[in-house]
């Protein structure tokens, strides 16, 4: 989400708990419609992992986490991103149905990086993309299969999820930009 220099917090967008519950219902529907047997849940650091944890608990499915820092497309411009926890996929993803989770999808570049990283671990049977919030600022042809909230934002506005307890989704105005 970049450096949030000089930010103004706004009140929470919506009842985040209700959004999560809605997302879980959508995911159950997605799983039954597409017949996703024994899915594995993979969250993208950091917010995606919080949501993925809830989804994995709900589905009683194994949880993995991705740190996409080494797969980003802005190394030439911004250099190496500071390290959070390393990626950890404690299972074999070959021929499995994956549910890839991020908290917010904006440009789609994070998801592009995550897909590239996933395929360095193996060849899954399928990848479904789920997110709490999708912002209408896509730069790549990537769409979520399940999404609890769709937003239209103006330039300089960002959505931020804070958590993990409690999870709160808010809009941030980036004064620096």
Number of Cβ within 10 Å of residue 37's Cβ equals: 9
Select 75 or 140, whichever has its Cβ closest to another protein: 75
CB of 124 to another protein, least distance (A): 12
# residues contacting another protein (CB under 8 A): 21
* Subset of 38-97 contacting another protein (CB under 8 A): 67, 69-71, 75-80, 82-83, 86-88
User: What is the C-alpha R_g of the chain?
Assistant: 16
Nearer to another protein, 78 or 143 (CB): 78
Q: What is the DSSP string of the chain?
A: ----TTEEE---SS-HHHHHHHHHHHHHHHHHHTT--S-EEEEETTHHHHHHHHHHHHHT--EEEE-GGGG-S-HHHH-PPPP-SPPB--S--TT-EEEEEEEEESSSHHHHHHHHHHHHH---SEEEEEEEEEES--SSS---SEEEEEE---TTEEEEEE-SSS-EEEEEEETT-
In the complex, least distance from residue 126 CB atom to another protein, rounded to whole angstroms: 18
Taking the C-alpha atoms of residue 152 and residue 36, their distance in angstroms, rounded to an integer, is: 31
Contact code string over 106-125 relative to another protein, x by CB under 8 A:
----------xx-xxxx---
Q: Which is nearer to another protein, 33 or 76 (CB)?
A: 76
Tell me how far, at minimum, the Cβ of 112 lies from another protein, in Å. 12
70/157 with CB nearer another protein: 70
Question: At closest approach, how far in Å is the CB of 23 from another protein?
Answer: 28
CB nearer to another protein: pick between 15 and 119: 119
Residues near another protein (CB under 8 A) are: 67, 69-71, 75-80, 82-83, 86-88, 116-117, 119-122
């Amino acid at each position: 989400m970049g450096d949030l220099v000089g930010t103004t917090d706004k009140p929470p967008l919506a009842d985040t708990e209700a959004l999560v519950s809605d997302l879980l219902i959508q995911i159950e529907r997605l799983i039954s419609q597409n017949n996703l047997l024994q899915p594995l849940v993979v969250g993208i650091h950091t917010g995606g992992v919080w949501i993925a944890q809830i989804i994995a608990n709900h589905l009683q499915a194994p949880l993995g986490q991705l740190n996409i820092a080494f797969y980003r497309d802005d190394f030439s411009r911004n250099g190496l991103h500071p390290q959070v926890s390393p990626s950890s996929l404690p299972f074999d993803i070959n021929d499995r149905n994956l549910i890839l989770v991020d908290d917010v999808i904006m440009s789609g570049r994070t998801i592009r990086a995550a897909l590239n990283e996933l395929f360095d671990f193996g060849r899954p049977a399928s990848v479904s993309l789920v997110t709490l919030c999708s912002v209408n600022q896509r730069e790549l042809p990537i769409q979520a299969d399940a999404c609890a909230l769709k937003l239209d934002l103006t330039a300089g506005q960002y959505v931020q999820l804070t958590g993990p307890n409690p999870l709160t989704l808010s809009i941030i105005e980036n004064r620096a930009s």
